Chain A
Amino acid sequence: MNKQEMIKHLSEKLSLTQAETKTLLEATFDTMAELLAKRKSFTIQGFGTFSVTQLEKRKGFNPLLNKWMMLPRKLKPKFKAGDSLKERVNAK
């Protein structure tokens, strides 16, 4: 399912125009990125929790350059699936 298909599907389900759906969709993911950048975590009922962890600076091997590198500190977005999503995926 690509972005366009998703917009179409959601607009039919919510009886919104495709343009409205698109702005809402983009606003949602933009807001999520902004919140994660501020290290805020949030739970979406029935889906899961989005959070961020900070990776401290560490050594890593770059196989292309064939060299050991000092990788800088960075934030890593994380997702933990909620129980209801797990059940839904595993139900058969």
Chain B
Amino acid sequence: MKNEEEKITIDEFCEKVSKKAKTSPEDSKKFIHTLFDSIGENLTQKEKVPIYQFGIFRKKWASKKKGVNPQTQEKITIPAHHKISFKPSAALAAKVNKKYRHLKPNVLDEILTLTHLKKTTPEEIKELEGSPELKKEHGKAKKRALITLIVGGIILLLLLALVIILPAYYGNESNEVVDFAKKVNLMLGLNSISEKLRGEKFEIIDKAKVAEFLADFKKKLSQDRKIVETYSVKPGDSIFSISKKYWGNEFLWPDLYILNKDEYVDPDLIFPNDKIVIYEKMGDPENFSEKQRDQIVQAYIGIYRIYRALGEADLIDGRAKNDAQKIKFGEKRINDSQWTLYTALRYDHDLLKKYENAIYPEDIDLLNQYIERFGYDGMKNK
């Protein structure tokens, strides 16, 4: 790696500045000297001189201490004095590192970190490499790895065979519930279900797929329903409040959301003067037909997955400016997703079993705890 740096003279520097500011080099030279003179002047009077978008020059007090003159080995005392330091601002650091901007910090594997942390001396390494016991163990480990590989391969083949053969047997029996779970999983990917929430892998939301899913679902929901009115959103409105206003029940909001939002992804965002199309009410929530109940529950689960995916996207980067915000935003979304699911329980008490494949296992555990403590209608009492 090249580590050398070139020096340029003050005249070259002034020439560059004058080209940029379209003035004569003499003028810019005069300006630069006056500028840094006044910064120095400020530094004599103040503790720090911040310069916007560049950095902070700071004066630090260093009390007197003993030292050694490296040339003569003579002991001397260094008198108390001010040190001058410079801290580049984030903007300057970003500009300087423009060519490295694709490089991002990575989380290290924990095992890797531990081994890296322990410093092994060269003698230790020699000992380790030379010992016959270690060589034996290496051989054993290799054998073990080979066996695991073969067994793993066989299991994988068996699983593949199952996946191919099973649908042939049960393919005809597929019902709507199973279809729906499959669709939701396809929409947002189910790979991460068995992985832990934070610190490992996340799924990132695919807006095109979500839009496709919503458009499809909208078709199903709007079948045989008349449009009553088109409502123009006013400041302070939410999908929740509009649902209550027109249908007398705020807990039908997923229906309203899906009937209107086939393009957006974020369920929390509506803006003044957006046009919301109000359809006929789906039915009386107390006397829903089986089909209506399935539809509203599926709408809820669709939104649960969208919230969840948005939360996980937030945990990676999303809207947040720093790491603390990432966790704050992400956790709020995930919390929202869990409450959405809990609200849906009022329509179908068996939802957790029915849609098991579309819900994260940890959320199923959590909701079972909620049900034990608050019952199925906890939201009503709050």
Contact = CB atoms under 8 A, between A and B. Distances in A.
Partners in one complex: yes
A40 to B, nearest CB: 5
Contacts, number: 181
A14 B84 CA distance: 27
Contact of B17 (A16, A31, A79): A31
A46 B37 CA distance: 7
Interface string A6-28: 10011001101000110111111
B105 A14 contact: no
Interface in A24-82: 24-37, 39-48, 51-52, 54, 56-57, 59-60, 62, 64-65, 67-79, 81
B51 interface: yes
B54 to A, nearest CB: 5
A28 B19 CA distance: 11
A75 B22 CA distance: 30
Interface residues of B, number: 69
B17 A24 contact: yes
Nearest to B105: A69
B175 interface: no
Interface in B98-149: 98-100, 103-108, 110, 113, 116-117
A3 B35 CA distance: 12
Interface residues of A, number: 66
B6 A10 contact: no
Given A25-B35, A40-B7, 5 more contacts: A14-B31, A41-B6, A59-B113, A72-B103, A76-B96
Interface of B: 1, 3, 5-10, 12-13, 16-17, 20-23, 27-28, 30-40, 42-44, 46, 49, 51-55, 57, 59, 81-82, 84-86, 88, 92-93, 95-100, 103-108, 110, 113, 116-117, 199, 322-324
Interface of A: 1-3, 6, 9-10, 13-14, 16, 20-21, 23-37, 39-48, 51-52, 54, 56-57, 59-60, 62, 64-65, 67-79, 81, 85-86, 88-91
